[in-house]
Amino acid sequence: MAERKAAKLGFASLYEYFEDKIAKEAKALEADQVGKTTLKKAIKAKA
């Protein structure tokens, strides 16, 4: 089932699909952490 989804999305293999998915999730987590850090700095600057 996941193999069909991977092929439908244009990935050559199921491995490539999961590799891309994991990379996107890691990038989103990193962006979220950067956003929180920036927010904390802004709050500290106001105080």
List, for residues 1-19, the tens digit of each pLDDT value.
788 989 999 999 999 999 9
Identify whether 36 is part of a domain.
yes
CB 43 within 8 A of CB 28: no
Give me 9's structure tokens: 């999305």
Domain of residue 39 covers 23-47
Q: How many domains does the chain have?
A: 1
Identify whether 11 is part of a domain.
no
**Confidence grade of residue 34 (pLDDT, cut at 50, 70, 90):** confident
**Confidence grade of residue 33 (pLDDT, cut at 50, 70, 90):** confident
Identify whether 41 is part of a domain.
yes
**Percent of the chain as helix, strand, coil, to the nearest 5:** 85, 0, 15
Rounded to whole angstroms, the Cα distance separating 20 from 26 reads 10
Alpha-carbon dihedral 33, 35, 40, 45, rounded to 10 degrees = 150
Identify whether 14 is part of a domain.
no
